[in-house]
Structure 1
């Protein structure tokens, strides 16, 4: 019974703190009083519910929402933070890997998204590592979205477990 109160409790406390700090006009917190903070509050509520009870279904959405909130704050606060699609894919990969840690399900998806994130974030280095295969890699590059579509179709329609 207790775990059914964790998610709404964390959301109410988080939103209450958010609106209190907004009304109090503390200058130190003003840069963080935007919609990414609300994403983080909801994500943290999912994570609190997932890790306090036996419902691990909230780990993936919790990591994704919290990670996206952190990312949007970091993009505006830190000049070195990458605003690349690969960062979003990396956050999703971390979500699957954390879910795997608790449930032993989702390892393949986590590793697949991690590989995709590494390729996306470090594409120049990956092409450099390919070295001799560079010309062939460039000729295959336009087809990588098709590989993603086929892999997704396989996971949706063919792989039954």
Structure 2
């Protein structure tokens, strides 16, 4: 039985409402007539397709796209909002974990991305804490790329899919 896709319909309706509000200068959404809002609309289309259309593979791109849209809206409003790399890994982790809830697959991968995102988001605070306790962790930041490459190679060449 073929699944019904909601992606196109929801995305087009969302774009239509977006452009309609923009055309009639709907003042409630003045700060939202930007490209991050379009990312949110497409992301919501993927999420509807993932949950209502039961195409669980759509959950990950839905979380990433809508999350990036929200990130760019929030980052423009708050100077203290975290940088993109940690937020992006957090969105990937959230998307994988939400997909895991529906499929039961890739829990370890979701937790791994969550751990890496947490380290990236709080690395400055970890450095500050270590410095206050007489330790230096600044050399660790040089090894981040290698850690990602080694983990990626492990998942590509060593770990076997179930």
Q: TM-score range by the shorter chain?
A: 0.7 to 0.9
Mark the runs of 5 or more structure 1 residues left unpaired by the alignment.
none
| Aligned mates of 1:92, 1:81 — CA distance in 2 | 18
TM-score if structure 2 supplies the norm length? 0.87
Alignment CA distance shift 1:65-1:123 (3 Å): same
| Aligned mates of 1:146, 1:12 — CA distance in 2 | 42
In the alignment, is the contact (CA less than 8 A) between 2:63 and 2:92 conserved in 1? yes
In the alignment, is the contact (CA less than 8 A) between 1:3 and 1:49 conserved in 2? no
Whether 1:28 and 2:28 are equivalent positions in the alignment is yes
Note the C-alpha offset of 1:145: 1.3
Note the C-alpha offset of 1:81: 2.4
- CA RMSD across the alignment: 2.3
* Corresponding residue SS for 1:100: helix
TM-score if structure 1 supplies the norm length? 0.87
- Shifted more, 39-48 versus 5-14: the winner is 5-14
* Corresponding residue SS for 2:54: coil
Note the C-alpha offset of 1:134: 3.0
- 2:93 matched residue in structure 1: 93
